[in-house]
Amino acid sequence: MEGARRRASVHRVGAVAGAGAVAAGLTGCAMVREQVRRVTGPLPAMFAPLPGDRRAVAEARLVLQRAGFGPRPGDIARVVAMGPRNYLEEQLADRVEEDPAVRWRVDGLDVLQWQSEAPDMLFSYPDGQLLTEIQQAMLLRAVYSRRQLREALCDFWTNHFNIYAIKKDGRVLIPMDAEQVIRPHAMGRFRDLLFRSAHSPAMLAYLDNEQNRKGIANENYARELLELHTVGVESGYTLEDIQQVARCFTGWTIREGFERGQFVFRPELHDSGEKFIPFLNLRIAPGGGKRDAEAILERLAVHPATARFLSRKLCRRFLGSEPAGIVERAARAYLRHDTDIRAMLRPILLDGLVAQEPVRPLIKRPLDYLVSALRALAADTDGGAGVQQHLQAMGQPLYQWPLPDGYPDRTAAWTGTLLPRWNFALALAANAIAGTRVDLQQALRALGARTDPDAVDALIQVTLNRDPEDGDVQLVRERVREHVKRARGSGLASSRVMAEVAGLLLASPVFQWRA
């Protein structure tokens, strides 16, 4: 087994190592390492002054904050040039060319390699590596992917179909759920996503469905399927509906031994009797086997209550509110287009987000905050333990929310995390996070900052994506300039002063909101 791991690692890095071997003899190891870093690292940052049209900048900033994880340098100018609506159409089409860093850094993770080739191998990996690498994959994609809407939706559906990694074999099974359930269907048809989630060993283990069998029904999965995954708790189903749905899912379990951790339906554990689900007006004849539960999933996927429940939830994610007209249009589009997620998103994004009228303030959850800061400063990060420790301190370690409802999206849930946010911001700007580096001098040079006031204004543009003269940054600007004067008076080195400026801006109230 250890030999198999080594072989996989050799295959993944062989091309880069082979290309570097010849160069090593000519130019030395240090230069080769730098060349490899450049080949596998993110595309160069495009630091430049913001466009002059402040209203257009504000519109672009809002779209980038809501339909993704915030702008990287150059993104604002690009969206202003093409228009927010065209940008969203491009994201909905999901055909944007990817940053090479996504492929090189994510594909190089052992856990992702094995989840597709031999998932039972993951049972031999240390828990720490499993959890670190699946979080790495999500963070790296969020930071570097140009398909920002896809990444935002992957995060959304991960929370919608939440699984707690610490329970049972969650650390081993979640990589397969993330890569084979969530990611392939995040922008497809909800029906397919729901079916795959119902077959997910990670989900079945988390909600105890491997204990659901004839005569000893376990209702956990059936309850959450109705309450959280589809129609919602206020749709009118009863305890009898839950019990009947649970009977339909008896025998849906997980293999042991050979092909350990894979889904399996065991007919001998299935309740094969007749079932009737009043809420769905669905009668299931005896002897249907696995088709009993599939009939439930099909009926739930196309239920009007599911359409409304998902529409409201997506509106909260992208708009911060649930405008009745947009919720209704999105629900109708969902049903009219055979549960298509893109069709449901169009009225939310193109009629809601671009129009801005129903959009309300949304605080950045720790994940949004951390990723948006890394993107704003064009950080070169491995997404590893260094940044993950800060995410945990802020209260949102990925795949570690114990309840099936996923991390909350309410502002009140995150207002107590400011101190660890400030610690992260200052550490990031000072290059004090292992595996992550930023180059503030590159930004200052690109923006022609020669004096301390120029530098503060330049970093306001980089971090907050606002004109330094905008009213909502004036107080922050004054306070930061005062800090620079004090820091200079105490003899701090210039690099330290600029790091503190960037850290203070990232810690400021303005940066805490997705606006």
Number of structural domains (the chain) is: 4
Q: What is the Cβ-side half-sphere exposure of residue 317, based on CA atoms within 13 angstroms? A: 24
Q: Looking at residues 365-369, what average pLDDT do you find?
A: 98
pLDDT band, very low/low/confident/very high, at 9 (cuts 50, 70, 90): very low
Q: Are residues 410 and 333 in the same domain?
A: no
Give the pLDDT confidence of 415-461 residue by residue, as tens digits: 888 999 999 999 999 999 999 999 999 999 999 999 999 999 999 99
Q: Are residues 345 and 379 in the same domain?
A: no
The reply to whether 124 falls in a domain is yes
Contact yes or no for 165/192 (Cβ under 8 A): no
Q: Are residues 52 and 16 in the same domain?
A: yes
Among 318, 353, 388, the domain-final residue is 353
Residue 168 has a CB neighbour count (10 Å cut-off) of 15
Q: Are residues 177 and 216 in the same domain?
A: no
- Kindly report the backbone phi and psi dihedral angles of residue 275, in degrees, each rounded to the nearest multiple of 5, phi listed first: -135, 145
Q: State residue 24's pLDDT score.
A: 36
On average, the pLDDT of the chain sits at 92
Q: State residue 407's pLDDT score.
A: 98
The reply to whether 193 falls in a domain is no
% of the chain surpassing 70 pLDDT: 92
Region of poorest pLDDT, from 31-45, 395-409, 498-512: 31-45
Q: Are residues 20 and 137 in the same domain?
A: yes
Residue 284 contacts by C-beta under 8 Å, 6 or more apart in sequence? 248, 274, 275, 276, 277, 292, 295
- CA-closest candidate to residue 306, choices 229, 193, 220, 246: 229
% of the chain surpassing 90 pLDDT: 85
Per-residue buried b or exposed e for 251-283, using 16+ beta carbons within 10 Å of the residue's own CB:
bbbbeeeeebbebeebeebbbbeebebebbebe
- CA-closest candidate to residue 365, choices 158, 2, 69: 69
pLDDT higher than 90, residue 55: yes
Give the pLDDT confidence of 110-134 residue by residue, as tens digits: 999 999 899 999 999 999 999 999 9
Q: State residue 38's pLDDT score.
A: 63
The reply to whether 449 falls in a domain is yes
Q: Are residues 380 and 337 in the same domain?
A: no
Q: State residue 5's pLDDT score.
A: 46
Q: Are residues 412 and 500 in the same domain?
A: yes
The reply to whether 237 falls in a domain is yes
Among 276, 301, 326, the domain-final residue is 301
pLDDT band, very low/low/confident/very high, at 29 (cuts 50, 70, 90): low
Place of tokens 């949304």: 362
Give the pLDDT confidence of 252-266 residue by residue, as tens digits: 999 998 889 999 999
Among 187, 219, 250, the domain-final residue is 187
CA distances from 172 to 12, 162, 199, 327 (A): 21, 15, 16, 37
Give the pLDDT confidence of 458-510 residue by residue, as tens digits: 999 999 999 999 999 999 999 999 999 999 999 999 999 999 999 999 999 99
Q: Are residues 31 and 147 in the same domain?
A: yes
pLDDT higher than 80, residue 21: no
pLDDT band, very low/low/confident/very high, at 28 (cuts 50, 70, 90): low
Expressed as residue numbers, the domain containing 349 is 304-353
Q: Are residues 176 and 235 in the same domain?
A: no
Q: State residue 179's pLDDT score.
A: 97
Place of tokens 């399996």: 264
The reply to whether 83 falls in a domain is yes
Q: Are residues 166 and 267 in the same domain?
A: no
The reply to whether 25 falls in a domain is yes
The reply to whether 457 falls in a domain is yes
pLDDT higher than 60, residue 63: yes
Q: Are residues 15 and 163 in the same domain?
A: yes
Q: State residue 415's pLDDT score.
A: 86
pTM comes to: 0.93
Q: Are residues 23 and 163 in the same domain?
A: yes
Q: State residue 31's pLDDT score.
A: 67
The reply to whether 359 falls in a domain is no
pLDDT higher than 90, residue 12: no
